[in-house]
Amino acid sequence: MTDPDRRRRIPRTDTVLADLGDLVARQGSDLVKRAVIAAQERARAGEIAPEDVAAEARRSVSSRPSTTMKPLINATGVVLHTNIGRACLSEDAKAALLRAAGHVDVEFDTATGLRARRGRDTLAALSAAVPSAEDALVVNNGAAALVLATTALGVALGRPEVVMSRGEIVEIGDNFRLHELIASTGATIVEVGTTNRTWARDYSEAITDRTGLVLKVHPSNFVVQGFTHGVDVAELADLLRDLRERPDSPAAGVPLVVDIGSGLLRPDSLLPGEPDAATTLAAGADLVTASGDKLLGGPQAGIVLGRADLVERMRHSPLARALRVDKLTLAALEATLTGGVTPTHAALHADLDVLRRRSEALAERLQGSGVDAQVVDHVAAVGGGGAPGVVLPSVAIAVAADRAEPLRRDGIIARVRGGRCLLDLRAVAPTDDDVIHDRLRAIAAANGDVS
């Protein structure tokens, strides 16, 4: 029977706010007041007792998500999946984010009380990881590194032309085109060679007194095969060195900038065709640019490594202020460089036999729960626009194709191939195996497939 006095027993807003004073002090009056009003409406509708308004408001505020971003489980087999955030941060990097969330010495020397170089410990960690680099700089992504290099080393010096191979003028995800990025700085690309074949003489003939830099870009998201020829970093560096030594050469002061893309700092036997920063600098590049959230396995960042004078010129460009990273990125990147194995490295180098045993164990549990699941061979990928020719032999758990959509809505991202939903555990934390099992069993139960 409806209580006729219910509405009169609902406490006043100011009374509830006074009772929730500690919560107001932490979360602010606006947020708590909205929760109180919502709880009062629930009490008026008979959904909760009037006496529970304060408790319900407290529960609502305390249980609200800290972000609208939904955590996902990457069971696609694509280790660096751009659409779901690329690299998962290591535990060290996550801890670093929390440590840096408050006041930290990002740009302050506690010994002297004076201003210090921003992110100096992160830069030191980069230098330690790539000793051949004279200096390092971090900006907010790989594209920003190229924009800053083009601007500071070319346009700002009245040398707005960027010489690069026509076969390296690439388009990556979301219709992002390299030549449009460079043109946005006021620079002009001087294309040399053809789509499939470029020679050293093509570069030498294109360099003039308007040349700001020679840019070589690793076309990391595709492979051109067949009747092809390219100029590697060592040959290009030798060419520039010879040109610089000629009297009155227009190549004097023209640096060789190499964008390696995926952020590999040292060689990796799993990725023999993927350029790395240390090898590229040793081959003669003056500067290397790369991304931090791909093969390096860190946060989104653009990394610049190389000659100290060029890095310093970029650091003092007015544009550098607009492209600099915050304390959280610096902290996470430092922890990625100095901490333990990253999830990216672990996923790429996962032992196939271990993956198979783990997949078989989960499939057996699913079958025991009434879910039809089979372990099948699968091919995983590096992803993130990197190492397109690398095949990662893997395994997957195959379930009915109609499971893919409810799994996705539950935050588990899989692939549908050959009429089956495939879940590859390569990039899935072992602690999430239980989550996958429980979600699949619940879906099967909702469909009446489990008795």
Tens of pLDDT, residues 20-34: 999 999 999 999 999
Q: Which residue has the higher pLDDT, 230 or 126?
A: 126
Number of H helices, E strands in the chain: 19, 16
* Phi, psi dihedral angles at 249 (to 5 degrees): -75, 135
DSSP string for 93-136: HHHHHHHTTS---TTB-TTTSSB--TTHHHHHHHHHHSTT-SEE
Q: What is the mean pLDDT of the chain?
A: 93
**For residue 309, is pLDDT > 80?**
yes
Alpha-helical runs (H) found in 141-211: 142-153, 178-183, 200-206
Nearest Cα neighbor of 288 from 230, 223, 237 is 237
**For residue 175, is pLDDT > 80?**
no
Tokens 């570069």, residue?
203
Nearest Cα neighbor of 394 from 422, 433, 363, 366 is 422
Alpha-helical runs (H) found in 174-317: 178-183, 200-206, 233-244, 277-282, 308-315
Confidence of residue 451 (pLDDT cuts 50, 70, 90): low
Residue 170: its pLDDT value, please? 78
Alpha-helical runs (H) found in 299-402: 308-315, 318-323, 327-338, 343-348, 352-368
**For residue 258, is pLDDT > 80?**
yes
Q: State the sign of the Cα–Cα–Cα–Cα dihedral 263, 382, 164, 241.
A: positive
Portion of the chain with pLDDT greater than 70, in percent: 97
Residue positions counted in the chain:
451
Six-digit token pair at 408? 């996705």
3-state helix, strand, coil in the chain (%, to 5): 45, 20, 40
Residues in a beta bridge with 432 = none
**For residue 449, is pLDDT > 50?**
yes
Residue 221: its pLDDT value, please? 61
Q: Average of pLDDT values for 269-298?
A: 95
In whole angstroms, how far apart are CA 55 and each of 16, 25, 44, 64? 10, 17, 15, 14
Residue 424 CA to residue 191 CA, distance in Å, equals 42
Strands 211-217 and 161-165, how do they pair? Answer: parallel
Helix 352-368 vs helix 433-446: crossing angle, to nearest 10: 30
Six-digit token pair at 184? 């946005």
**For residue 16, is pLDDT > 70?**
yes
Residue 272: its pLDDT value, please? 87
Q: Which are the contacts of 90, defined by CB distance < 8 A and separation ≥ 6?
A: 297, 335, 336, 339, 340, 341, 342, 343
Strands 135-139 and 302-306, how do they pair? Answer: antiparallel
Residue 151 CA to residue 154 CA, distance in Å, equals 6
**For residue 4, is pLDDT > 70?**
no
**For residue 174, is pLDDT > 80?**
no
Of 129-133, 152-156, 177-181, 204-208, the poorest mean pLDDT is in 177-181
What do you get for the CA distance between the two ends of the chain, in Å? Answer: 38
Confidence of residue 262 (pLDDT cuts 50, 70, 90): confident
Residue 2: its pLDDT value, please? 53
Helix 120-129 vs helix 327-338: crossing angle, to nearest 10: 30
408 close to 402: Cβ distance less than 8 angstroms:
no
**For residue 176, is pLDDT > 80?**
no
**For residue 222, is pLDDT > 70?**
no
Of 51-55, 191-195, 221-225, 361-365, the poorest mean pLDDT is in 221-225
Which range scores top for mean pLDDT: 7-21, 259-273, 342-356? 342-356
Up-side HSE of residue 388: CA atoms within 13 Å toward CB?
Answer: 11
Q: Average of pLDDT values for 254-273?
A: 92
Nearest Cα neighbor of 16 from 46, 45, 50 is 50
Q: Which residue has the higher pLDDT, 172 or 206?
A: 206
Residue 171: its pLDDT value, please? 75
Tell me 395's DSSP state.
E
Six-digit token pair at 211? 């040349």
Other CB atoms within 10 Å distance of the CB of residue 366: 21
> If 0-12 CB within 10 Å is exposed, 13-18 middle and 19+ buried, where does residue 97 land?
middle
Residue 109 CA to residue 92 CA, distance in Å, equals 24
Other CB atoms within 10 Å distance of the CB of residue 418: 8
Q: Average of pLDDT values for 261-286?
A: 93
**For residue 114, is pLDDT > 50?**
yes
pLDDT in tens, 400-419: 999 999 999 999 999 999 99
Q: Average of pLDDT values for 284-309?
A: 96
Q: Average of pLDDT values for 153-173?
A: 89
Residue 1: its pLDDT value, please? 44
Q: Average of pLDDT values for 141-161?
A: 95
Residue 19: its pLDDT value, please? 92
pLDDT in tens, 345-399: 999 999 999 999 999 999 999 999 999 999 999 999 998 877 777 889 999 999 9
77 close to 424: Cβ distance less than 8 angstroms:
yes
Ramachandran class of 164: left when φ > 0, alpha when ψ lies in -120 to 50, beta otherwise: beta
